[in-house]
Every structure is written in structure tokens, then in C-alpha cells.
Amino acid sequence: MKQLANVSAEGRGATDQLLSAVVARLQTDGVRVGGALRQQKPSGGASDCNSNLWLLPDGPNARITQDLGTGSTSCRMDAGALEKAAATATARLIAGEVELVVLNKFGVSETEGRGFRALIAEALSHNVPVLIGVSDAHRAAFEHFAGGMATTLTPEENEVLVWCQTAIKPTTTLAEEA
């Protein structure tokens, strides 16, 4: 079984909602999930340019955009804040606190070799499965990064859960089978 999977749901915020639902169910079942999810914003609230990540499993909340003021028309990623969030998630993985890594997206930073890209590689090198949201805009870069080693899942909560549960089950060694 491939240890890397990606999913994309149609509609603004749909992938974030799907991944949040999957993580909630996994955590209820006692699975130690690491990584980061985009915090769901109430509609009609703050600017669409503000982006916060909830570092799994229990925080903190990381603001990964910078406020450029009311006159600004651009969204600006705070690269330092994103790298700090990725470092926190990676430290949790290395400490052995994680059975599964879930990331809200493979985005611009990851396509450029930054962001959570090192966490993905580190998790896979430790045989920790990774589930990541991938948009159409970044699909080609993700597929290049994955090199044919990723499973693409349909955006059905139960299918995603089954993949996660199967991926985290310990593999049986030949000695155990004998």
C-alpha cells in the first residue's frame, strides 16, 4: 500500500471540511494525528486573505498570513510563520507522537520546496502515512513531487477513513507470520 494519498473536493473550503471531519473521527478512535489543518472561518467574518492553521493534534493555532492593512489588495503569506508551523509539526513527528500526518494542502510553498514539504518527506522516511489536500492548481507540482508514489482518493469521507485506517495499521513481519 502506498503511504502517500491526496484528495480534492469540489467547492471553496470543501477539502478543508472533509479533512477536518476525517481527523475528528480518527482522533475519536484514538489515532495520533499530526500535521496541520486550515481553521474553518465563519462566513461573513474576517478577510479571505487571513489564514490560520491548527497544528494537530491539539494546537496551537498558527497565523500564516501577515496583515498588510486595510488598503492592501494582496494576500501575503508569512513565510516565517509557515516554516515555524512546519517545524513544530515535524518535531512532533520525530518525537514519535504521530501515527498519521494530515495536511490541508500542497500549496505554493510546497511547490517551491518549502512549507510542509520536508515534513512529508520525513514522515514517509519514518513509514508514517501522509494524507494531503491537493487543488487542481497545484496538482502537477504535487504529482512531480510524489513521483507516482501517491494514491488519489475520491472525496468521500468513508473512503478517506478506510485509507487512513489501513495505512496506519502495523504491517506484519515475516517472523510474526511464521
CATH code, 121: 3.40.50.300
What pLDDT digit, counting tens, does each position of 83-137 carry? Answer: 999 999 999 999 998 999 999 999 989 999 999 999 999 999 999 999 999 999 9
Query: Which domain range does residue 154 map to?
Result: 4-42+49-170
Whether 129 is covered by a domain: the verdict is yes
Burial class (CB in 10 A: 0-12, 13-18, 19+), 83: middle
Q: How many domains does the chain have?
A: 1
Whether 15 is covered by a domain: the verdict is yes
- Are residues 133 and 15 in contact, defined by beta-carbon separation less than 8 angstroms? yes
Number of Cβ atoms within 10 Å of the Cβ of 53: 24
**Least confident interval from 16-25, 35-44, 158-167:** 35-44
- Residue (of 90, 74, 79, 81) closest to 125 by Cα position: 90
Whether 106 is covered by a domain: the verdict is yes
Whether 176 is covered by a domain: the verdict is no
In degrees and rounded to multiples of 5, residue 151 shows phi and psi of -95, 130
- Residue (of 168, 90, 146) closest to 123 by Cα position: 90
Whether 37 is covered by a domain: the verdict is yes
Q: Would you state the pLDDT for residue 32?
A: 96
Handedness of CA 118, 124, 125, 127 (dihedral sign): positive
Q: What mean pLDDT do residues 42-47 have? A: 49
